[in-house]
Amino acid sequence: MPIYEFRCNDCRHEFEEVFLPNLVRSLDSETIECPACGSTNVTRILSTGSFRPQGIPKGKGGFKPPKCKSG
């Protein structure tokens, strides 16, 4: 389920909205309200990714891929 981040252009509050795939809901900024002040003057902001590549971080930020399974 996608999570989108928004910033209120009136009070500068940043908040998240969850959009469930089985519910029809528009990402139109006129339908999104700021939870802090109730304004609909909001802008969707770019979020950071929430995934991690395979492997465990080693040393200077590099990732060591998992060993191949032979069989």
Domains and CATH numbers, the chain: 3-47 (2.20.28.10)
Residue 44: count of CB within 10 angstroms of its CB: 13
For residue 47, what pLDDT is reported? 73
Contacts with 45 (C-beta within 8 Å, 6 or more apart), sequence order: 5, 6, 7, 14
For residue 18, what pLDDT is reported? 82
For residue 67, what pLDDT is reported? 74
Identify the bridge partners of residue 58 per DSSP, sorted by sequence position: 62
DSSP tally for the chain: helices H, then strands E:
0, 5
Q: pTM here?
A: 0.57
d(Cα 7, Cα 47) in Å, to the nearest integer?
Answer: 11
